[in-house]
Structure 1
Amino acid sequence: MPGVVGGPRVLLRRLREVMAGPGTAQERLDRIVRNIAANMVADVCSIYLLRAGRRLELFATEGLNPDSVHKATLKVGEGLVGTIADTATPLSLPDAQAHPKFAYLPETGEEIFHSLMGVPIIRAGRVVGVLVVQNRTMREYDEDEIDAMQTIAMVLAELIGQGDLVDPAELSETEARRREPYTYDGVGLAEGLALGVAVLHEPRVAVDRLIAEDPQVELNRLAVAMSSLRKRIDAMLDDQDVLAGEQRDIIEAYRMFAHDRGWREKIEEAIKSGLTAEAAVERVQMETRARMGSITDPYLRERLSDLEDLANRLLRHLAGKTETAAGDELPDEAILVARTMGPAELLDYDRTRLKAVVLEEGSPTSHVAIVARGLGIPLVGGCERVLERVEPGDMVVADGDTGQVIFRPTPEVAAAFTENLRIRTERRAEYAQYRNMPAVSKDGVAVKLYMNAGLTVDLPHLDETGADGIGLFRTELQFMVSATMPRLATQIELYANALAAAGERPLIFRTLDVGGDKVLPYMGAQREENPALGWRAIRLVLDRPALLRYQLRALLIAGAGKVLSIMFPMVADVAEFRQARQILEVERRRLERLGRPLPQAIRVGTMLEVPALAYQLPALLPLVDFISIGSNDLLQFFFAADRGNPKVAGRYDLLAPAALKLLRDICAACTAAGVPVSLCGEMAGRPLEAMTLIGLGFRSISMNAVSIGPVKAMLRGLDVGEFRAYIDRLIDGPDRTLRGKIESFARDHGVPI
């Protein structure tokens, strides 16, 4: 069976000589197809390039009718050449005319040729053309020949893209297509709108040198980089305190692939064919992408995606660039794009320049989403395979409210979003005027508007927003962004800084709410079928009392001489609260025995997030100093609908009468018992929902800092008495949701929502 004469290295060397030689672009392209045909022992070699209207135009041929050049065309998806372009996968056929997709082009004279092998010409992840060889005989092309063709196509893609073989004007339409806008409908994980330029969290390595001078040198470079990569992965897995759960599974997959002999041998073969180590990795990576396109099984796609990620890591090791973009100077309006991120990684970035984050993965309860919301950085997740399409420097619009991301927006779209940003900026300026105004309604009802916090970077927002205090300080964020358990002194410092920032304003610390989906990397994961309902929060720390005691000790020391408010999360039974409060008392007595200064007063409360606790209020209320309703968990448990699952999250409405009656009854019971009650879920930060809570009787709500202004503006335009009478008439009615009617009330009465 004929093969590649002299091997791919000889052909690549000849292609380089043609590229550097004299003549017009067309003359050099003609010489290239002649060289490929001769070296592949083919009767025909043709190059088709993508043109306007998704047409593939014959640009050069050896063996077909030369008059058909620039005249013969096929649409993407039409014929065998169009199929190769459409699927981005090679095609090898001993009898091409028997294939159902065969399309005869009479002007080419190709009817006498039977066998065909074609490969896509891919540049920057996009098909820009097709390279084809044909033979008169019914010939079987072997894998080595297909590999050689793909290597040649890779080199052609770079030459074409650089304009070395084709006049730039001839490819203007193709390049224009590369700049076409495209949109992802993801999931909004942190609110806000941003317009900026794309920055890759893990920058790609640009492969500038494709053809190797000395293959042995490239093989040695690969061996060094592969060894470095393997050592780094092994070290991550050997450190039991760093990885857990899904993170560990991902790195285990990396190690499996990194030690896979077949993967390495493919890269080595590509190097032996004449490519540099980087080009060889990219060559094998292209094959992986092609395989991903034809696989529907989600598990296999995920494994191939892991292999793609590993190839990117290997490229960075070859280039000596193993760090993320956090160490680089960001552009002024940076929008970070990544597959996934940890919360500590996000905190590494310059937040004066970082305007938004776009992730392939992510959920509303992911660590990075929680931190992004705290920092006020818009975040969109669920943009599947976005890294395959985005180019560094692309203009990006990211809408954390709707979950929509637009890459390379048209000038009209960019202008519309710029105007939207301007309006939002003006609104923020309007809200700023309310900072020092009291949170009082039109009819004189005062409502305490607290903010949620969890990190040192949140604390300045207290003064910036004019919040009445911190209604929820999430202490777990410090544990989540740290690679190891925070030391006692570190915890004390954070809690003391928070109390100092609050001054005389109230501040409520929530003890560790970890477990479930909030896996601490140094604690080890527990595989659970329903993690949200599993071993988490108060359940976890009561089973590991040393962890709770350690934290309570830090809180008591930090609160010396001040009013210290502590609440326990995820309490489902009064007995759990009693047990947790007893542990607090043990720690208080310990410090007292040691002669350490104690808080001036200790207030102890609980989160109400489990519906069962709502039916234990008569037994609970005499024991607590306050209650804070966590509406996020309470209502997802109430409706048995995972708020992080887009397929079911929209099946219920927070303003459904059943949910509102539950909240009203809890509020009424606490008020009757003289126990302060607040609500600190996401609904508190939305003006319409906050308006409804106030109408139900709540006089204290806690929200993200950015929501204080809009909610205060709403309150100052609301007549609470009038609205309460209105909602009382509706709440026992048959409506599935009261949202529309509440919106109508706000609109009719001029309440800004």
Structure 2
Amino acid sequence: MWKIKGIAASAGIAIGTIVHMQEAVHDFCRLVDASQAPAEKERFYTAQQAAEKELEILQERTAINMGEQQAEVFAAHKLMVTDPSFVEVVLNHIDNHQASAEAAVEDAANEIAAMFAGLDSEYMQERAADIKDIGKRLVRILQGGTAEVNYTGVLAAQDLLPSDTAALDLNYVSGFITALGGKTSHSSILARAAGIPAVVGVGSALEKLNNGDNVIVDGHVGEVLVNPEEDILNDYRLRIKKEQERAALLASVGHLPSETLDGHHIELACNIGTPGDMEKVIAAGAEGVGLFRTEFLFLDKTSVPTEEEQVESYKAVLAAMPDKKIVIRTLDAGGDKQLPFIGGLPEANPALGLRAIRLCMVYQDVFKTQLRALLRASVAGNLHIMFPMIATVDELLSAKALLNEAAKELTQEGIPYKSDVAVGIMVEVPAAAAIADILAEEVDFFSIGTNDLVQYTMAADRMNEHVAYLSDYFQPPVVRLIGNVAKAAQKAGKWVGMCGEMAGDPLATPLLVGLGLTELSMNGRAVPVVKHRIRQLDIKQTQKWADDILSLRTASDIKKRLEEIALQFEI
């Protein structure tokens, strides 16, 4: 037996035999006679239409199997296939370089992908994979290839593009291993959504794997065990059985209340990105939505979404759970999420630049349209509006003033809306945590976003592997800031929740409950785990634990203490 180390992209264990992905054969003529240019253009246009039809089917299938949010990538692909900038480069290669349609598409995709890959923004770098995916699809169609290739076993590939991952038949593919890729790539995200164990970024070690090799893919730790001995196989089979038993136990708590042993209710909600995700919220046994990211309506669009489009989307979410609390975050764009219809000036440090509420207050016409749409949608349910990236009282007051302007306009126009919509902020800037007592006077609730709170508190880019040791929500300064926000909310009589990654970590649950958080919002898969943990807690004991943990000096000390606490729980 030998071992490969990579990146743990999707949790779970898979046992199977290796099957290498068939790489596309680029068997086509690159140059054609200039007189053939019109015919090559026509071939390209025909391939475009075929690609759009394939992507529509793939989007529908992905929405059913993995959820609407994961399917959105293929809606973006449909737009990119016909994007004027992409088409212009393809046609230029045909007209001016005597390229065949296949060569023109391949060269155009590579050029644009290289441009995206060279940008600082992680979001734009991910678009490089999308462009390559589109180019690969168009070339295959031009060559007369079919979309379906069936694999059985553990799939090994240099890289899996989003459409490769979405097209896998989960009844036959038990896991995958790739040479390239990272934890935040679209394929990794799709793998997690589908529940496929995956290890990525194994590099040249992939070449040592042969078809038919027996492997264990451990997506928990990012390891691949190649041709393991029988005793190791039996050990992992036992682990898979325990995971299945654990899943069954967690499924049984779905309908039970999220209450501590002494009767304290902790609200469990879900983070979503599209209205289609509401089915998973309900299936997870969640009590509402703690974070609806509205960016999906704006990103990859060439123009501002209309007020009517936004009203329809927000109403769809509210109407799915009309009696439950739905927290909708206003536009959090800028930084690594640039809006095509606004553009953006180059910034030396986009994470500290014009993003979220700062961007919205510059483009107030875009912001007010969203606020009007939110108020109009409020009649469909229990809307809570949340402003992101608030750092000062002035920012909060300005946002609230614009919300009031939108409300007055609707009143004057005779358009119905709820006048008692709750307004809160996402606490993700240390400045906001430091003045939480002041901000509490102006809001109805706080929701702590730990992802950015960690980044800004520790002055460490969470995507930079060299400072990854600092990007830990168990760092004492972060824990103390969370405690400070909870205390300020309690004193003001406001509820306080959390919608960052920490909220879905059962190891952190006793600490968060002990600090006084009353709502936790997470991805749907985490809800049963956290609910089961809450149902084993005693509120007074968690408060003692929290006081103890606040005195600890290092992140490792805090994790060690929480791991000791976790030993007394069933799961």
What displacement does 1:562 show? Answer: 2.9
- Residue 491 of structure 1 pairs with residue 310 of structure 2: yes
Aligned-partner SS, 2:527: helix
Paired residues of 1:563 and 1:600 also in contact (CA < 8 A): no
- Residue 725 of structure 1 pairs with residue 544 of structure 2: yes
- Shift of the 218–592 alpha-carbon distance from structure 1 to 2, 3 Å rule, reads closer
- Residue 477 of structure 1 pairs with residue 299 of structure 2: no
CA distance in 1, matches of 2:133, 2:294: 38
- Shift of the 509–318 alpha-carbon distance from structure 1 to 2, 3 Å rule, reads closer
- Residue 664 of structure 1 pairs with residue 486 of structure 2: no
Range with bigger deviation, 587-596 or 361-370: 361-370
Aligned-partner SS, 2:432: helix
The superposition leaves residues 491-515 of structure 1 with CA deviations (integer Å, 9 ceiling, x where unpaired) of: 3332222112223111101112222
What are the within-5 Å matches in structure 2 for residues 3-22 of structure 1? none
Which residue of structure 2 lines up, in the alignment, with residue 648 of structure 1? 467
CA distance in 1, matches of 2:221, 2:39: 42
Paired residues of 2:293 and 2:328 also in contact (CA < 8 A): yes
CA distance in 2, matches of 1:249, 1:195: 44
Q: Which amino acid aligns with 2:504?
A: G
Aligned-partner SS, 2:379: coil
Correspondent of 2:221 among 402, 417, 420: 402
What displacement does 1:697 show? Answer: 1.9
Paired residues of 1:205 and 1:315 also in contact (CA < 8 A): no
Which residue of structure 2 lines up, in the alignment, with residue 185 of structure 1? 6
Which residue of structure 2 lines up, in the alignment, with residue 744 of structure 1? 564
Aligned-partner SS, 1:687: coil
Range with bigger deviation, 355-364 or 436-445: 355-364
Aligned-partner SS, 1:590: helix
Q: Which amino acid aligns with 1:702?
A: S
- Shift of the 696–249 alpha-carbon distance from structure 1 to 2, 3 Å rule, reads farther
- Residue 715 of structure 1 pairs with residue 557 of structure 2: no
What are the within-5 Å matches in structure 2 for residues 538-553 of structure 1? 538-553=357-372
Paired residues of 1:449 and 1:467 also in contact (CA < 8 A): yes
CA distance in 1, matches of 2:15, 2:392: 47
Aligned-partner SS, 1:449: strand
- Residue 320 of structure 1 pairs with residue 138 of structure 2: no
Q: Which amino acid aligns with 1:731?
A: L
Correspondent of 1:603 among 422, 428, 432: 422
CA distance in 2, matches of 1:483, 1:322: 31
Range with bigger deviation, 692-701 or 703-712: 692-701
Which residue of structure 2 lines up, in the alignment, with residue 426 of structure 1? 245
Which residue of structure 1 lines up, in the alignment, with residue 115 of structure 2? none
Per chain length, whose mean CA-contact separation is higher, i.e. which structure has more relative contact order (CA < 8 Å, sep 6+)?
2
Aligned-partner SS, 1:623: coil
Aligned-partner SS, 1:566: strand
Correspondent of 1:534 among 343, 350, 353: 353
What displacement does 1:687 show? Answer: 0.7
- Residue 694 of structure 1 pairs with residue 513 of structure 2: yes
CA distance in 2, matches of 1:639, 1:633: 10
What displacement does 1:617 show? Answer: 2.2
Aligned-partner SS, 1:552: helix
- Residue 682 of structure 1 pairs with residue 501 of structure 2: yes
What are the within-5 Å matches in structure 2 for residues 296-375 of structure 1? 317=139, 320-321=142-143, 327-328=147-148, 339=159, 349=167
What displacement does 1:315 show? Answer: 11
Superposition RMSD on alpha carbons, in Å?
Answer: 5.0
- Residue 612 of structure 1 pairs with residue 431 of structure 2: yes
Q: Which amino acid aligns with 1:720?
A: I
Paired residues of 2:319 and 2:381 also in contact (CA < 8 A): no
Paired residues of 1:453 and 1:470 also in contact (CA < 8 A): yes
CA distance in 1, matches of 2:411, 2:96: 60
CA distance in 1, matches of 2:347, 2:393: 25
Q: Percent identity?
A: 31
Q: Which amino acid aligns with 1:658?
A: P
What displacement does 1:395 show? Answer: 8.0
Which residue of structure 1 lines up, in the alignment, with residue 458 of structure 2? 639
Aligned-partner SS, 1:492: helix
Paired residues of 1:335 and 1:396 also in contact (CA < 8 A): no
What are the within-5 Å matches in structure 2 for residues 153-302 of structure 1? 183-186=4-7, 188=9, 191-193=11-13, 204-206=23-25, 220=32
- Shift of the 730–626 alpha-carbon distance from structure 1 to 2, 3 Å rule, reads closer
Paired residues of 1:631 and 1:682 also in contact (CA < 8 A): yes
CA distance in 2, matches of 1:488, 1:195: 50
Paired residues of 1:462 and 1:469 also in contact (CA < 8 A): yes
What displacement does 1:230 show? Answer: 12
CA distance in 1, matches of 2:393, 2:367: 18
Structure 2 unaligned regions, length at least 5:
49-75, 107-127
TM-score (norm 1): 0.57
Aligned-partner SS, 2:508: helix
TM-score (norm 2): 0.73
Q: Which amino acid aligns with 1:751?
A: F
- Shift of the 355–707 alpha-carbon distance from structure 1 to 2, 3 Å rule, reads farther
What are the within-5 Å matches in structure 2 for residues 372-521 of structure 1? 382-384=201-203, 399-404=218-223, 419-480=238-299, 486-521=305-340
Paired residues of 1:376 and 1:706 also in contact (CA < 8 A): no
CA distance in 1, matches of 2:569, 2:133: 55
Range with bigger deviation, 707-716 or 346-355: 346-355
CA distance in 2, matches of 1:411, 1:477: 47
- Shift of the 661–560 alpha-carbon distance from structure 1 to 2, 3 Å rule, reads same
CA distance in 1, matches of 2:188, 2:365: 29
CA distance in 2, matches of 1:424, 1:554: 44
The superposition leaves residues 283-302 of structure 1 with CA deviations (integer Å, 9 ceiling, x where unpaired) of: xxxxxxxxxxxxxxxxxxxx
- Shift of the 361–523 alpha-carbon distance from structure 1 to 2, 3 Å rule, reads farther
Which residue of structure 1 lines up, in the alignment, with residue 112 of structure 2? none
- Residue 579 of structure 1 pairs with residue 398 of structure 2: yes
Paired residues of 1:363 and 1:644 also in contact (CA < 8 A): no
**Structure showing greater Rg:** 1
